[in-house]
């Protein structure tokens, strides 16, 4: 009986092409179409952007640590929070998971040799990089970068209120990175639909891959609308159109103009913007769902429930855009409130399943698992305050205050940072053949965990006391100083934790690559490839009979439950070398 | 292919329901909010067009090895597709678009080298595709 069934064609082809793996160093970076190289490019670029955006956040916190502070000018403060938000949301959180990790991991998890369109994949990366540079180029123009917030509301973003090259570069940057995301989405959907290994049915896909598929569909829904909104904004700024402008009476020499409506911009933006929140969150849910079962030594509790919960969250997220616009007074409050509250149900299912997976498992508290638990706590807090904000009366009271700031930072920091770095610690051995140092990793986690709560919990209180978001200064007598100082201290503790990460990466780089192919005793196919995986990934594949093929292969005696096809597992088979 | 088809058709069904609900509800509450309705209709089509194509095919083809839970790895042997191992043209085309984006901000003269890069990259892509790189 053949246990290791080889893909003969690949092996033969691979040997033939062994010396044609492409150029090295800079040329490799410029010309590679290997999904692993492109994935690492994405991750490296987006982490640099993460550090830049984090430094901007520290500058914001320094300004707010004192009442009537003059650390930066008001205009600079506007530029700081605009670029902090734009870099974090458009250029880090999405591309890191979606361009980076998904690019690297999804073809491995489905058993594919590469992404479906390797050159389109490389093209996406170059669009992402040039879009990022375009957006940041504003900082070296005479009039400075964009300063209208990451949402760029009209009419604040029109040519009268935001003149200069910075806002134009911002819009162009959004356009380029938007197309990059769309192309990657097409690539991922095609890869998942057409390049799965035999036996890898849809309901045996790892949850990370499922979440990436759902995220890709969300991107295809949301990003074209953002691009359209930007085209209209550009036309308003440069071609004299009136899409987002109210009309004007006839004045000397100028005829009357009927004009458009500024709220149209908000509709277009948030129809992108709210799915975007889940484009940022779902991949990270996927990471957590990969890690928690591996470190609980149990199969995932409720596989199908997890898949359908992901779909439900994604679907509902496209019907809630105007809950960001409750206070405009022109949206249908009950509709948007109802759908927003409904999202709590599938999210609750996810939480239930994560806890059910850990329940009575043999939990190993390695660094990736610690980050996942940090993610659960952070996202729970952010999610619960989100449920509160979905209720219009509470939203009216707290809209545009620090309560909202604390809410979305807890959600996004919880997902993109806690779960994102869980993913880094988890897949680092696969990418580089070495495990990151455990002690430094735990130090990173605890510093970040403490810093996180110290930073954002005071902001809830500040918000309830009425501190508006996006203010650069406040008077001393309102009594916000102490909590702002606490929040700033927390932010610097978070900053320190990321210095620890850099130390960890440098320390680990000096060690020998001895992690092996499967250091965590993982479940899914990426742990069957070598570390780092060879060109075109697999020379052989294990039989795929459940959603945990590698676990089944390494533990033939374990009673495994084949989720997904609803059938009993195949009988354990004798295995040769292992 | 069946699950994939249902998945995409499901997108269409969801947006049909939500779009209709939103349209009727806003119209009842004092004037249909057409920008939202239009975006929901667009999303409905985004699911419907590929979904109906997949559904049509899924009734006319045998399940692929990746659709069958009992398929063996050998069934997937053979040519999988064309995977070029390296290509400079994505970079060239990306830089061409970069220049065109900058041209819109800094001056239209920058678009000339951008267009030149894109044309050469498109040519390069086509020529390169004939060389293959099949796995």
A131 close to A313: Cβ distance less than 8 angstroms = no
Provide the pairing of β-strand A257-259 with A246-248: antiparallel
The pair of structure tokens assigned to A451 is 């810093």
Q: Are B61 and B116 in the same domain?
A: no
Q: Which residues contact B26 (CB under 8 A, 6 or more apart)?
A: A332, A335, B32, B33, B36, B37
In a shared domain, residues B58 and B93: no
Does B111 contact A at CB distance below 8 Å?
no
Contact (CB, 8 A) for A245 and A236: yes
CA nearest to A203 within chain B: B3
Report the distance separating Cα A418 and Cα A546, nearest Å. Answer: 29
Whether residue A119 and residue B89 make contact (CB cut-off 8 A), yes or no, is yes
- State whether residue A1 sits within 8 Å of chain B by CB: no
pLDDT in tens, chain A (578 residues): 233 344 434 443 444 444 455 677 788 888 889 999 999 999 999 999 999 999 999 999 999 999 988 899 999 999 999 999 999 999 999 999 999 999 999 999 999 999 999 999 999 999 999 999 999 999 999 889 999 999 999 889 999 999 999 999 999 999 999 999 999 999 999 999 999 999 999 999 999 999 999 999 999 999 999 999 999 999 999 998 999 988 888 887 788 888 888 999 999 999 999 999 999 999 999 999 999 999 999 999 999 999 999 999 999 999 999 999 999 988 999 999 999 999 999 999 999 999 999 999 999 999 999 999 999 999 999 999 999 999 999 999 999 999 999 999 999 999 999 999 999 999 999 999 999 999 999 999 999 999 999 999 999 999 999 999 999 999 999 999 999 999 999 999 999 999 999 999 999 999 888 888 999 999 999 999 998 998 888 888 999 988 899 999 998 877 544 444 444 444 444 433 33
Q: Do A130 and B95 touch (CB under 8 A)?
A: yes
Upstream peptide bond of A399 is cis (omega within 30 degrees of 0)? no
In-domain check, residue B52: yes
Residues B66 and B12 in one domain: yes
Query: Whole-angstrom distance between the N-terminal and C-terminal Cα of chain A?
Result: 15
Residue B56 sits in the same domain as residue B8: yes
* Residue at B63 is within a domain: yes
Strand partners, A534: A537
The arithmetic mean of pLDDT across residues B100-110, rounded, is 93
Which positions 81-120 of A are in contact with B (Cβ < 8 Å)? 112-114, 116, 118-120
Which residues of chain B does A318 touch, with a Cβ-Cβ cutoff of 8 Å? 15, 18, 40, 43
Tell me the per-residue pLDDT of B12-51, one tens digit each, with 9 for 90 and over. Answer: 999 999 999 999 999 998 888 899 999 999 999 999 999 9
Residue A92 is encoded by which pair of tokens?
């880090």
- Per-residue pLDDT, A17: 47
Q: Where are the alpha helices (DSSP H) in A239-343?
A: 262-296, 303-317, 333-342
Question: Is the Cβ–Cβ distance between A176 and A156 less than 8 Å?
Answer: no
Contacts of A10 (CB under 8 A, 6+ apart): A113, A536, A538, A539, B80, B135
Alpha-carbon distance of A152 to B123, in angstroms, equals 38
**Are B4 and A193 a contacting pair at CB < 8 A?**
yes
**B25, B66, B76 ranked by CB distance to A335: nearest:** B25
Task: Please count the other Cβ atoms lying within 10 Å of the Cβ belonging to residue A570.
Answer: 13
Q: A470 in the Ramachandran plot: left (φ > 0), alpha (ψ -120 to 50) or beta?
A: left
Q: What is the pTM of this model?
A: 0.92
- Do A335 and B86 count as a contact with CB atoms less than 8 A apart? no
Answer yes or no: do A123 and B90 touch at CB < 8 A.
yes
In a domain, B72, yes or no: yes
Is there a domain that residue A513 lies in? yes
Mutate which: A122, A129, A239, vs B, most B CBs within 10 A: A122
B7 touches chain A (CB under 8 A): yes
The last residue of one of the domains, among B76, B98, B118, is B76
- B55 and B97 co-located in one domain: no
CATH of the domain at A294: 1.20.210.10
Cβ pairs bridging A and B (under 8 Å): 190
Chosen for mutation from A8, A18, A31 (greatest number of chain B CBs closer than 10 Å) is: A31
Residue A562 lies in a domain: no
Do the Cβ atoms of A546 and A564 come closer than 8 Å? yes
Residue A8 to residue A391: CA distance in whole angstroms? 59
Helix (H, G, I), strand (E, B) or coil at A339: helix
DSSP code of residue A252: T
Q: Are A125 and A180 in contact (CB under 8 A)?
A: yes
B34 CB burial (10 A radius; 0-12, 13-18, 19+):
middle
Q: Domain check: are B25 and B50 in the same one?
A: yes
What is the token pair recorded at A223? Answer: 């990003």
Distance set, CA B2 to CA A213, A564, B6, B43, B67 (Å): 16, 15, 6, 21, 8
Can you give the pLDDT at residue A564? 42
d(CA B56, CA B1): 10
A 530-569 residues with CB < 8 A to B: 535-536, 540-545, 564-565, 567
Query: A550 near A524, Cβ under 8 Å?
Result: yes
Q: What is the DSSP letter of A321?
A: G
Looking at the partner chain, which of B21, B39, B66 has a beta carbon nearest the beta carbon of A198? B66
| Distance of alpha carbon A416 from alpha carbon A212, whole angstroms | 14
**HSE-up of residue A18 (Cα within 13 Å, Cβ side):** 5
pLDDT at B74 over 80: yes
Distance (Å, whole) CA A89 – CA A69: 27
Do residues B20 and B52 both lie within one domain? yes
Cβ–Cβ contact A322 with B under 8 A: yes
The crossing angle, in degrees rounded to 10, of helices A35-64 and A102-110 is 140
Q: Considering the domain boundaries, does residue B7 fall inside one? A: yes
For residues B67 and B112, state if they share a domain: no
- Whole-angstrom Cα distance, residue A180 to residue A103? 13
Range of the domain at B119: 89-131
Q: Looking at beta carbons, which residues of chain A come within 8 Å of B42?
A: 225
Domain end position, chosen among B76, B101, B119: B76
Query: Whose CA is closest to A192, among A166, A174, A213?
Result: A213
> Residue A40: which domain range?
5-247+258-554
Does B68 contact A199 at a Cβ distance shorter than 8 Å?
yes
Residue B125 lies in a domain: yes
* CA-to-CA separations, B127 to B120, B121, B122, B131, in angstroms, rounded: 11, 10, 9, 7
CB within 8 Å of A399: residues ≥ 6 apart? A326, A327
The minimal CB distance from A123 to the residues B18, B22, B93 is found for B93
Distance CA A563, CA A441 (A): 33
Six-digit token pair at A258?
């009927």
| Nearest to A544, CA basis, from A531, A530, A560 | A560
Beta bridge partners of A246: A259
Same domain, B71 and B126: no
The reported pLDDT for the residue numbered B112 is 95
Model ipTM value = 0.94
Phi, psi at A251, each rounded to 5° = -120, 170
The beta strands (E) that lie in A176-251 are given as 246-248
Q: Does B30 touch chain A (CB under 8 A)?
A: no
Among the partner-chain residues A121, A134, A339, the one whose CB lies closest to the CB of B102 is A134
Residue A252 lies in a domain: no
Cα A176 from Cα A250, distance rounded (Å): 38
Judged by CB atoms closer than 8 Å, whether chains meet at A176 and B98 is answered as yes
Is residue A375 one of the residues assigned to a domain?
yes
Instruction: Name the 3-class secondary structure at A299.
Output: coil
Q: State how many domains chain A has.
A: 1
Q: What is the DSSP letter of A98?
A: I
Residue B62 contacts A, CB cutoff 8 Å: no
Secondary structure of residue B31 in the 3-state scheme: coil
Do B93 and B50 reside in the same domain of the chain? no
- Yes or no, beta carbons of B21 and A335 under 8 Å apart: yes
- The pair of three-digit structure tokens given for residue B19, joined into one six-digit string: 């779009």
**Burial (Cβ within 10 Å: 0-12, 13-18, ≥19) of residue A477:** exposed
Q: Is A401 in a helix, a strand, or coil?
A: strand
pLDDT confidence bin for B86, thresholds 50/70/90: confident
Number of domain units in chain B: 2
How many Cβ atoms are within 10 Å of A197's Cβ, its own excluded?
A: 25
- Interface with chain B: mutation pick from A124, A175, A332, highest number of B CBs within 10 Å: A332
* Same-domain pairing of B72 and B93: no
Task: Flag whether residue B132 sits within 8 Å of chain A, measured between CB atoms.
Answer: no
Say how far apart CA A324 and CA A454 lie, in whole Å: 26
**Across the interface, do B14 and A315 touch by the CB < 8 Å criterion?**
yes
* Three-state secondary-structure class, residue A254: strand
Shared domain check, B95 and B70: no
pLDDT of residue A419: 96
**Hey, is the C-beta of B74 within 8 angstroms of any chain A C-beta?**
yes
How far, in Å, CA of A403 to CA of A61, rounded? 16
Residue environment code for B73-88, b if the CB has 16+ CB neighbours within 10 A, otherwise e: bebbbeebeebbbbbb
């Amino acid at each position: 009986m053949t246990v290791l069934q080889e893909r003969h064609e690949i092996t033969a082809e691979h040997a033939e092409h062994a010396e044609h793996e492409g150029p090295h160093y800079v040329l490799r970076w410029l010309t590679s179409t290997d999904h692993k190289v492109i994935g690492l490019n994405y991750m490296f670029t987006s982490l640099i952007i993460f550090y830049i955006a984090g430094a901007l956040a520290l500058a914001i916190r320094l300004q707010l640590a004192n009442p009537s502070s003059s650390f930066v000018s008001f205009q600079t403060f506007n530029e700081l929070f605009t670029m902090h938000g734009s870099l974090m949301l458009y250029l880090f959180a999405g591309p890191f998971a979606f361009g980076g990790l998904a690019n690297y991991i999804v073809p491995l998890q489905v058993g594919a040799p590469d992404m479906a369109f390797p050159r389109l994949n490389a093209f996406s990366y170059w669009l992402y990089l040039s879009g990022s540079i375009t957006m940041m180029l504003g900082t070296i123009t005479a009039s400075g970068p964009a300063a209208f917030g990451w949402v760029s509301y009209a009419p604040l973003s029109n040519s009268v209120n935001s003149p200069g090259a910075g806002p134009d570069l911002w819009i162009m940057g959004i356009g380029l990175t938007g197309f990059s995301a769309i192309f990657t989405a097409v690539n991922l959907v095609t890869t998942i639909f057409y390049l799965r290994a035999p036996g890898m049915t849809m309901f045996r896909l790892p949850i990370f891959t499922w979440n990436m598929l759902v995220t890709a569909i969300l991107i295809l829904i949301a990003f074209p609308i953002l691009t359209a909104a930007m085209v209209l904004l550009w036309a308003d700024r440069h071609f004299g159109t009136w899409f987002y402008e109210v009309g004007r009476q006839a004045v000397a020499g100028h005829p009357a103009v009927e004009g458009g409506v500024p709220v149209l911009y908000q509709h277009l933006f948030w129809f992108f913007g709210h799915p975007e929140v889940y484009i940022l969150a779902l991949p990270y849910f996927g990471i957590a769902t990969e890690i928690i079962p591996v470190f609980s030594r149990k199969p995932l509790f409720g596989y199908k429930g997890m898949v359908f919960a992901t779909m439900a969250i994604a679907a509902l997220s496209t019907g809630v855009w105007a809950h960001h616009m409750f206070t405009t007074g022109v949206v249908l409050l009950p509709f948007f409130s109802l759908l927003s509250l409904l999202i709590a149900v599938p999210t609750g299912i996810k939480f239930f399943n994560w806890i059910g997976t850990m329940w009575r498992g043999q939990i190993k508290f390695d660094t990736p698992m610690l980050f996942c638990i940090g993610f659960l706590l952070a996202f729970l807090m952010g999610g619960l305050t989100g449920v509160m904000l979905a209720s219009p009366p509470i939203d009216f009271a707290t809209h545009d205050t620090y309560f909202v700031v604390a809410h979305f930072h807890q959600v996004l920091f919880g997902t993109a940072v806690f779960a994102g770095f869980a993913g880094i610690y988890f897949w680092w051995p696969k990418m580089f053949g070495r495990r990151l140092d455990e002690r430094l990793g735990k130090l990173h986690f605890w510093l970040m965990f403490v810093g996180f709560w110290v930073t954002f919990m005071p902001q809830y209180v500040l918000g309830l006391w009425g501190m508006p978001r996006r203010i650069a200064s406040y008077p001393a007598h309102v009594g916000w100083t102490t909590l702002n100082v606490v929040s700033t201290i927390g932010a610097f503790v978070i900053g320190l934790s990321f210095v620890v990460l850099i130390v960890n990466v440098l320390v680990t780089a000096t060690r020998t690559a001895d992690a092996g192919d499967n250091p965590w005793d993982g479940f899914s196919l990426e742990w069957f490839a070598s570390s780092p995986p060879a060109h075109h990934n697999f020379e052989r594949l294990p039989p795929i009979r459940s959603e945990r093929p590698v676990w089944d292969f390494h533990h033939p005696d374990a009673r495994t439950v084949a989720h997904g096809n609803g059938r009993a597992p195949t009988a354990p088979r004798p295995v040769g070398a292992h | 292919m069946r699950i994939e088809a249902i998945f995409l058709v499901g997108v269409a069904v969801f947006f049909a329901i939500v779009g209709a609900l939103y349209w009727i509800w806003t119209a009842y509450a004092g004037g249909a909010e057409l920008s939202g309705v239009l975006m929901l209709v667009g999303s409905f089509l985004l699911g419907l067009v590929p979904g109906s194509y997949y559904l049509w095919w899924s009734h006319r083809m045998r399940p692929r090895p990746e659709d069958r839970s009992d398929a063996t790895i050998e069934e997937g042997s053979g040519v999988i597709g064309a995977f070029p191992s390296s290509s400079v043209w994505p970079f060239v085309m990306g830089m061409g678009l970069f220049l065109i984006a900058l041209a819109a901000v800094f001056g239209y003269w920058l678009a000339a080298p951008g267009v030149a890069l894109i044309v050469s990259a498109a040519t390069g892509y086509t020529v390169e595709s004939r060389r293959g790189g099949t796995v």
